[in-house]
Structure 1
Amino acid sequence: MLLECLIKQNSPDDLVLEGHRIRLRALKKEDISALYEIRHSREISKYIDRKIDETYEETEQFIDKIIAGYEDHQWYFWGIELKETKAIIGTLCLWNINYDANKGELGYEIIESNQKNGYMHEGLKLVLNFAFKVLMLSTVESIIHAQNKASIKSVERYNFSLMGVISDKKQVIYSLNRLLFLSDYPNRAHEIGLKIGSLKRGALNKITDVAGIRVGHSTIQSGASQTGVTVILPSAEDMFKHKMIAASHVINGFGKTTGLIQVDELGTLETPIALTNTLAVGRVQDALIDYMLASSESEIKSINPIVGECNDSYLNDITHKSVQAYHVLDAIKNAEIDFSEGAIGAGRGMSCHQLKGGIGSSSRCFSIGKAQYTLGVLVLSNHGILTDLIVDHNQIGSCIDSLRRAAINEEAVDKGSCMIIVATDLPVSDRQLKRICKRAVSGLARLGSYIGHGSGEIVIGFSTANRIGITTASELMSYTFIQENQMDIAFRAVIESTEEAVLNSMLTAESVEGVNGNKRESFQTYASLLSQSAV
């Protein structure tokens, strides 16, 4: 077989795993400087059971050992190379491989300055695919220091389970089964062959492809409480001091989003954007104000926090009001570039087309003249009727309805809402941005939503291209915006991104049972129908 030849006969240089932003490749002698930085770092090594390299000679000996291991297939060891700069920022390996038991161990490390950028999440997916689909291993384990919360979070995102504790070394053993990885790992729309539109997707196909943006979640999943908070941080800078151009568009105003009046009046965004359930808006807004007061360098006497909501009461005991201020701060603290989607954060209790909805995202890249731009969308999907659902021009919803294992014990009414967050690095005015926001509804319509009476669809957009300072020595401000006749490609980008973001919110969401025994099935249950439509 070709894969066996790749493993047993080809050189280590052929074992290159290509990701969107990174490349996993064999280590070479020329990598000694980068590898020394990693193995000499006390911050990285404090959770790893090894001696810190104090000299280049020690690092060179390690590289020699790794290269020798390549030749007899003792392990597979890769450097994590950034495609853009060719820099080695970490390592990933499969080692302690027992081919008789079809079992291996996963190891990884990354330079501190490149943590929380999603590079390790991307790399782990490449290595796990290699382990389970190429080596055909049955189990992959990872032994992690019990205090290494970041590493534990990384493997838990891939459904690793805690299997045991090594008390004397303060380590925990996590394990992932091949069948679980292949069957349960969420597949996004493009990964199952669905092609939405004609524009190129961003590297992560998420709103965070627009540089500087991070997204964080805090999830509540306990019995009847199935809810949470999601926060979009447009920049690491002080948002109040360096405001962004912003706009909003209310498709259907059955909603309680805060802050839109000032956004439409002044055309600026001055806080992160938070999403939650309907009855948590007040607490989340108050927490967002406290965060801004504590983090901004400016003396704030007035602030316009943006909090969007959807009603998750079908799955969540919304009157219990589980969301607290610390959930907002946790979401901000957990913010990252390669964030999770689906039934997480504010999306935990949401429904979409009477299946499980939640958080979804997508992005598009395009050029105007010689300049390259990115537009990304994040949705909190909680709208639509199953029988209306259209995917790739096919009436998928009607097919699913006829296959349902249990009847939907509810009235088929389009209610619940959808929050749509649009971000771009395109230099646009607030008026132009509103024009872009107005087109997002076409993405919902392409999936069959008719925007029912009880479903509040609200769009909030911002551009990272221009910043508006709160103080200036001049009475005048000067900014560059694109020509009106160049807007069409941005309209297409927001429509395609919105459509795919909603699909991703459903495809990545697990099935959830909540208050009163109400259940929402994952769209993944019917993924075979989608795969057939994509052929």
Structure 2
Amino acid sequence: MRARELGLRLRGRTGRHNAITDVAGVEVGYTTLIEGDDVRTGVTAILPRGKADFDVPCIAEWFSLNGNGEMTGTTLIRETGQLRLPVLITNTHAVGPCHRGVIEWVAREKPRVAAQWLLPVVAETYDGYLNDTNGAHVQASHAIAAIDAACSGPIAEGSVGGGTGMNCYAFKGGSGTSSRVVEYGRDIYTVGAFVQANFGARNELTICGVPVGEALGDDNPIEESDWKSGAGSVIAVIATDAPFLPGQCAALARRVPMGLARTGTTGSHFSGDIFLAFSTANVQTPSVYPVGDPGYDHLRHVPWNRMDDFFAAVVYSIEEAVLNALLAAETMTGRLGRRSPALPKDRLAALLS
């Protein structure tokens, strides 16, 4: 189930699939690992320009609300305002094999690109409540498989990919997505959001402005254990086909916390909250040493004083992506017999009515 199927009143007009893949060219793929009693993890791959043009840079920037987490490759993004290569999201202790997996995939697909230096973007959230996160379960081959599986169109949500073992507001969480359409003069653009939702304390949960967390405070095995209230982290990726400068992508990323706050979180110290935004509109020259006349890149961008509708699209799509992650996820039992309950949809609907 998704938020709109439950009848939740959410703001904004969505794209066709209400997903980050509504931005033309964006592809998403998963590897989901559910094995035995202890393995509940996986890998998510997001390809800004799809597999064919993965080495063509996008204008991009990032923002950290709370740095108790990891997103590799961000120093180069800050330096150049560009992103290339697939973006991967996984669990905290699997960043290394996913980083290696991107390199091996690039070397397989385009050896000339791998002959240069590669600084992949790999982000994480912590799944140690349900998953044996110290085990070497995620391998480079799983990262490669997630990239190979990437496609456009509707995508799965909840306990899939990197979100497999994640929890949100002490309910089962995971992967979620949404999109908004923005009219700009005679043009129409799309803003898409993807979240790996693994944050928030139960009493904080707010849906459509209604504080429902305390009313749903029973059946809370996560916070009844030794788990830190609100711990976990959230990674968000914003994609758009609107033409922006790097600083404008940074401004989009800075709006992500406003969407998260609409779901109730106040930002726990134990939650690493890191956000990436990219634009596919300006096709940049692939990063190679110039031969002959070096030429120029040209950028077209929306004026700063016309950004507000795009900011709103980020806020509303992030809010809905979190709700979609919560509603799609089902109850899961994992490491040490620990249980993460699904958000009870019938009770939620009654509260909201």
TM-score bin (small chain): over 0.9
Distance 1:284 1:405, change over 3 A: closer
Residue 534 (structure 1) shift: 4.5
Q: Given that residues 238 and 297 in structure 1 are in contact (C-alpha distance below 8 angstroms), is that contact kept between their aligned partners in structure 2? A: no
Match of 1:332 among 143, 147, 162: 147
TM-score, normalised with respect to structure 2: 0.94
Aligned partners of 1:375 and 1:358: how far apart in 2?
21
Indicate yes or no: 2:13 matched with 1:195: no
Q: Which residue of 2 aligns with 1:372?
A: 188
Indicate yes or no: 2:132 matched with 1:312: no
Q: Secondary structure at the match of 2:230?
A: coil
Aligned partners of 1:229 and 1:271: how far apart in 2?
15
Q: Which residue of 1 aligns with 2:61?
A: 247
Q: Secondary structure at the match of 1:468?
A: coil
Aligned partners of 2:316 and 2:214: how far apart in 1?
23
Residue 404 (structure 1) shift: 5.6
Q: Secondary structure at the match of 2:231?
A: coil
TM-score, normalised with respect to structure 1: 0.63
Distance 1:220 1:414, change over 3 A: same
Q: Which residue of 2 aligns with 1:272?
A: 86
Q: Given that residues 219 and 341 in structure 2 are in contact (C-alpha distance below 8 angstroms), is that contact kept between their aligned partners in structure 1? A: no
Indicate yes or no: 2:353 matched with 1:499: no
Aligned partners of 2:62 and 2:129: how far apart in 1?
27
Residue 402 (structure 1) shift: 4.0
Indicate yes or no: 2:22 matched with 1:206: no
Which structure carries more relative contact order (alpha carbon 8 Å, separation 6+)?
A: 2
Percent of aligned positions that are identical: 35
Match of 2:214 among 388, 398, 415: 398
How many residue pairs get aligned? The number is 345
The AA in structure 1 aligned to 2:40 is: Q
Distance 1:297 1:412, change over 3 A: closer
Residue 189 (structure 1) shift: 0.4
Q: Given that residues 238 and 295 in structure 1 are in contact (C-alpha distance below 8 angstroms), is that contact kept between their aligned partners in structure 2? A: no
Indicate yes or no: 2:30 matched with 1:217: yes
Q: Secondary structure at the match of 1:469?
A: coil
Q: Given that residues 193 and 534 in structure 1 are in contact (C-alpha distance below 8 angstroms), is that contact kept between their aligned partners in structure 2? A: no
Q: Secondary structure at the match of 1:439?
A: helix
Indicate yes or no: 2:347 matched with 1:529: yes
Indicate yes or no: 2:244 matched with 1:443: no
Residue 529 (structure 1) shift: 3.0
Q: Which residue of 1 aligns with 2:329?
A: 509
Return 5+ residue gaps in structure 1 as ranges: 1-186
CA deviation profile, 1:412-471 (whole Å, cap 9, x unmatched): 522110000100001001110100110000011111111111110000111110121135
Return 5+ residue gaps in structure 2 as ranges: none
The structure richer in helix per residue is 1
Aligned partners of 1:305 and 1:462: how far apart in 2?
15
Residue 477 (structure 1) shift: 2.0
Distance 1:325 1:406, change over 3 A: closer
Q: Which residue of 2 aligns with 1:232?
A: 46
Aligned partners of 2:221 and 2:335: how far apart in 1?
20
Q: Given that residues 380 and 419 in structure 1 are in contact (C-alpha distance below 8 angstroms), is that contact kept between their aligned partners in structure 2? A: yes
Q: Given that residues 396 and 529 in structure 1 are in contact (C-alpha distance below 8 angstroms), is that contact kept between their aligned partners in structure 2? A: no
Residue 491 (structure 1) shift: 0.5
Larger radius of gyration: 1
Q: Given that residues 360 and 378 in structure 1 are in contact (C-alpha distance below 8 angstroms), is that contact kept between their aligned partners in structure 2? A: yes
Distance 1:214 1:531, change over 3 A: same
Distance 1:355 1:405, change over 3 A: closer
Residue 501 (structure 1) shift: 0.4
Q: Which residue of 1 aligns with 2:283?
A: 467
The AA in structure 1 aligned to 2:341 is: E
Match of 1:455 among 268, 271, 281: 271
Residue 409 (structure 1) shift: 2.6
Q: Over aligned residue pairs, what C-alpha RMSD do you find?
A: 1.7
Q: Given that residues 228 and 270 in structure 2 are in contact (C-alpha distance below 8 angstroms), is that contact kept between their aligned partners in structure 1? A: no
Q: Given that residues 258 and 305 in structure 1 are in contact (C-alpha distance below 8 angstroms), is that contact kept between their aligned partners in structure 2? A: yes
Aligned partners of 2:248 and 2:77: how far apart in 1?
14
Match of 1:383 among 171, 190, 199: 199
Q: Secondary structure at the match of 1:465?
A: coil
The AA in structure 2 aligned to 1:530 is: L
CA deviation profile, 1:76-135 (whole Å, cap 9, x unmatched): xxxxxxxxxxxxxxxxxxxxxxxxxxxxxxxxxxxxxxxxxxxxxxxxxxxxxxxxxxxx
Aligned partners of 1:369 and 1:314: how far apart in 2?
48
